[in-house]
């Protein structure tokens, strides 16, 4: 007993403060709550991606092939040659620090390696040390270092702590898109079979059955049928959606999260109500595909090649059905893929094979912005219908909602979809309050779970990363009484409910078309008693 320290001596001997060392000397510590489980080798194999193997991030031996360094070097060399952006981003950063405090994961955690500049430096330092003459000669003095297994683990840990939201790129005076560096980092890791399972298995599912959740065609149909039952109970009107209809004018594709997970399901009911209304009123001919049943593209979080494979199925299905163009649902990264990668991935010939520049058959509006991609976002489509007076909307049905708007990263920064949702909101909700400047529009904060980081096991990372967004929601909740956070992204709808429950429990989450579905009035419709969630509607006076 006499050897034991007294409590005050013990307390005094504990130093909770982290050591002051150069970032290159801080060894990576893989912490539970911040990392996702390793990819299931069956999923990696299914996609034919290299070096599928079983491994555990917490073990020392990651089962790497003997020539793993050579594989990475060849991978870097190939990509430097292939992607001019990658080459430029490796060379031009002056480490001004403008991006340093813009990442939601850094803002929430204080971990310096979550500063975009330092995350990029993890890869850039190896590029300097192994590929540039200056770096080879002067090594660390020139900001270079060698690729070791410790460095590889650091890559894996931090490239899967970036949600590729691109907020940092908005502030970079050189226009460096740090997400592109994460994308390259993940591609390189995939060469060694080092993906995470929350990405690899959805990608394999999507490649096999057409959606990330692996919902088979009959189950996909059943789920939508189930929603039609609910809609009939609430509105007295039963939607009759068409599936895989050859010769339909428009093919509709939305993320499968809308079909399977609350509160996205209510958004999905909103789509069904809107299409039924447009069919009855104007003869709109929209079909759903049970094969190309995923708007999202987790291939984007794996490699360019995998992204292309998943993306092309939408076009092959549109061609098979003979649709004129594709209407896309409320998704996030789907739209970044479409607007920023697809033309060079597939080529305009592939997209234009049997499709036309999208025209709204009801209003005659030509969506010239989609002339090349042939895909229109449903927020643009609905805003156009409202602008042309084609929808009968009753805002009072959303009178219990005081909304604020979360600009989902990819539609906002990746395609400039900022005002269309707000235009729709203005017509379906009375009480709307914006969050403060610096947290919305182009500078919006990520939900914390983008780019495949919404696994159960990395919940702490997501909570830290979700803090800046939740903090702004908390402000408008406390100051103005906001009780609903709207968004146009299926991952947002999956991530934000838990985030809100933790940070601002009085605020719920919804999609745009849930509010449209509530407000839309069919001719001769029975009086609704509940909204799409089955909750009592407020009275006509709110």
Partner 1 sequence: MKLENFFADHHKYLCSQWTEAIIKTYPEEGGKFFSSTSSQFSNPVGHTFRSNIERIVLAVAKGTDVAACTQDLDEILRIRAVQGFSPAVALGFIPALRNIVSQHIIEKCPAETHVALLGDLNILVDQLVLLGFDLYMQCRELLWRQKANQLYSRTHKLLERANLLQGEEAAE
Q: Does 456 bind partner 1 (CB under 8 A)?
A: yes
CB of 276 to partner 1, least distance (A): 25
Q: Does 17 bind partner 1 (CB under 8 A)?
A: yes
Q: Which long-range contacts (CB under 8 A, 24 or more apart) does 180-183 make?
A: 180/83, 180/85, 180/86, 180/89, 181/86, 181/89, 181/119, 181/120, 181/123, 181/124, 182/119, 182/451, 183/300, 183/301, 183/304
Point out which span in 84-92, 106-114, 184-192, 387-395 binds partner 1 (CB under 8 A): 106-114
Give yes or no for a contact between 182 and 162, defined as CB atoms under 8 angstroms apart: yes
Give yes or no for a contact between 62 and 55, defined as CB atoms under 8 angstroms apart: yes
Give yes or no for a contact between 312 and 346, defined as CB atoms under 8 angstroms apart: yes
Q: Does 18 bind partner 1 (CB under 8 A)?
A: yes
CB of 101 to partner 1, least distance (A): 5
Task: Determine what percent of the chain falls in helix, strand and coil, rounding each to the nearest 5.
Answer: 50, 5, 40
Q: Does 106 bind partner 1 (CB under 8 A)?
A: yes
Give yes or no for a contact between 145 and 139, defined as CB atoms under 8 angstroms apart: yes
Residues 503, 510, 513, 531: which binds partner 1 (CB under 8 A)? 503
Q: Does 13 bind partner 1 (CB under 8 A)?
A: no
d(CA 515, CA 219): 26
Q: Does 467 bind partner 1 (CB under 8 A)?
A: yes
Give yes or no for a contact between 166 and 179, defined as CB atoms under 8 angstroms apart: yes
CB of 308 to partner 1, least distance (A): 31
What H or E segment, with its residue span, contains residue 175? none
d(CA 175, CA 381): 31
Q: Does 439 bind partner 1 (CB under 8 A)?
A: yes
Q: Does 7 bind partner 1 (CB under 8 A)?
A: no
Q: Does 508 bind partner 1 (CB under 8 A)?
A: no
By CB under 8 A, the residues from 164 to 223 that bind partner 1 are 219, 222
Q: Cis bond leading into 179, ω under 30°? A: no
Longest dimension (CA), the chain: 89
Give yes or no for a contact between 381 and 402, defined as CB atoms under 8 angstroms apart: no
Nearer to partner 1, 281 or 457 (CB): 457
Q: Does 468 bind partner 1 (CB under 8 A)?
A: yes
By CB under 8 A, the residues from 111 to 130 that bind partner 1 are 111-112, 115
String of DSSP letters for 433-484? -PPPTTSSGGGPPP-S-TTT---GGGHHHHHHHHHHHHHHHHHHHHHH---E
Cα distances (angstroms) measured from residue 7 to each of 4, 11, 142: 9, 6, 47
CB of 353 to partner 1, least distance (A): 37
SS3 call for 407: coil
What H or E segment, with its residue span, contains residue 123? helix 116-131
CB of 496 to partner 1, least distance (A): 13
Q: Does 48 bind partner 1 (CB under 8 A)?
A: no
From residue 57 to residue 96, what is the string marking binding to partner 1 with x (rule CB under 8 A)?
A: ----------------------------------------
Q: Does 464 bind partner 1 (CB under 8 A)?
A: yes
Beta bridge pairs of residue 510? 486
CB of 18 to partner 1, least distance (A): 5
Nearer to partner 1, 18 or 48 (CB): 18
Q: Does 501 bind partner 1 (CB under 8 A)?
A: yes
Q: Does 534 bind partner 1 (CB under 8 A)?
A: no
Q: Does 229 bind partner 1 (CB under 8 A)?
A: no
Residues 68, 75, 105, 108: which binds partner 1 (CB under 8 A)? 108
Q: Does 463 bind partner 1 (CB under 8 A)?
A: yes
Nearer to partner 1, 236 or 436 (CB): 436
CB of 233 to partner 1, least distance (A): 13
Q: Does 436 bind partner 1 (CB under 8 A)?
A: yes
Residues 471, 480, 508, 521: which binds partner 1 (CB under 8 A)? 471
String of DSSP letters for 341-401? THHHHH-HHHHHSS----B-TTT--B-GGGTTT-EEEHHHHHHHHHHTT---B-GGGGTT-
CB of 413 to partner 1, least distance (A): 17
Which residues of the chain form contacts with partner 1 (CB under 8 A)? 11, 16-18, 20, 26, 31, 33-34, 100-101, 106-112, 115, 219, 222, 260, 436, 438-439, 456, 459-460, 463-464, 467-468, 471-472, 475, 498, 501-503
């Amino acid at each position: 007993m006499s050897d034991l320290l007294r409590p005050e001596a013990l307390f005094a001997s504990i130093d909770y403060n982290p050591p002051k060392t150069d970032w290159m000397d801080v060894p990576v510590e893989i912490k539970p709550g911040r990392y996702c489980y390793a990819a299931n080798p069956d999923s990696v194999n299914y996609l034919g991606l290299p070096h599928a193997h079983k491994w555990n991030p917490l073990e020392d031996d990651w089962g790497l092939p003997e020539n793993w360094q050579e594989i990475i070097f060849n991978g870097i060399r190939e990509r430097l040659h292939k992607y001019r952006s990658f080459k430029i981003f490796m060379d031009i950063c002056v480490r001004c620090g403008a991006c340093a405090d813009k990442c939601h994961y850094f803002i929430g955690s204080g971990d310096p390696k979550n500063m975009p500049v330092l995350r990029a430096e993890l890869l850039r330092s190896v590029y300097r040390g192994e590929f540039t003459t200056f770096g080879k000669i002067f090594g660390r003095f020139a900001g270079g270092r060698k690729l070791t297994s410790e460095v590889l683990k650091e890559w894996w840990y931090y490239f899967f702590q970036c949600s590729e939201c691109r907020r940092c790129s908005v502030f970079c005076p050189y226009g460096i898109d740090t997400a592109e560096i994460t994308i390259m980092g993940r591609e390189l890791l995939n060469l060694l079979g080092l993906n995470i399972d929350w990405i690899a298995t959805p990608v394999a599912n999507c490649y096999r059955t057409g959606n990330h959740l692996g919902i088979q065609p009959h189950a996909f149909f059943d789920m939508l049928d189930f929603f039609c039952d609910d809609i009939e109970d609430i509105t007295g009107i039963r939607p009759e959606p068409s599936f895989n209809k050859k010769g339909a004018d428009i093919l509709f594709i939305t993320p499968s999260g809308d079909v399977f997970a609350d509160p996205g399901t209510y958004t999905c009911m909103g789509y069904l109500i809107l299409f039924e209304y447009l069919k009855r009123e104007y003869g709109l001919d929209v079909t759903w595909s049970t094969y190309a049943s995923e708007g999202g593209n987790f291939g984007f979080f794996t490699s360019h090649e995998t992204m292309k494979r998943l993306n092309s199925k939408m076009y092959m299905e549109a061609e098979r059905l003979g649709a004129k163009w594709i209407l896309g649902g409320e998704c996030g990264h789907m739209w970044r893929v479409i607007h920023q990668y697809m033309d060079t991935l597939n080529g305009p010939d592939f997209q234009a094979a049997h499709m036309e520049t999208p025209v709204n058959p009801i209003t005659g509006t030509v969506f010239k912005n989609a002339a090349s991609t042939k895909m229109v976002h449903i927020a643009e489509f609905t805003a156009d219908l409202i602008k042309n007076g084609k929808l009968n909307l009753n805002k009072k049905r959303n009178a219990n909602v005081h909304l604020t708007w979360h600009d989902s990263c990819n539609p906002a920064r990746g395609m400039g979809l900022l005002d269309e949702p707000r235009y729709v909101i203005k017509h379906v909700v009375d009480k709307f309050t914006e969050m403060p400047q610096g947290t919305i529009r182009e500078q919006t904060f990520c939900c914390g779970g983008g780019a495949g980081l919404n696994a159960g096991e990395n919940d702490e990372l997501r909570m830290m990363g979700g803090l800046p967004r939740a903090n702004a929601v908390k402000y408008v909740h406390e100051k103005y009484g906001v009780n609903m956070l709207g968004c146009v992204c299926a991952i947002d709808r999956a991530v934000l409910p838990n985030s809100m429950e933790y940070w601002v429990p009085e605020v719920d989450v919804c999609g745009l078309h849930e509010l449209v579905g509530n407000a839309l009035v069919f001719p001769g419709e029975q009086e609704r008693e509940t909204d799409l969630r089955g909750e009592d509607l407020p009275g006509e006076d709110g």
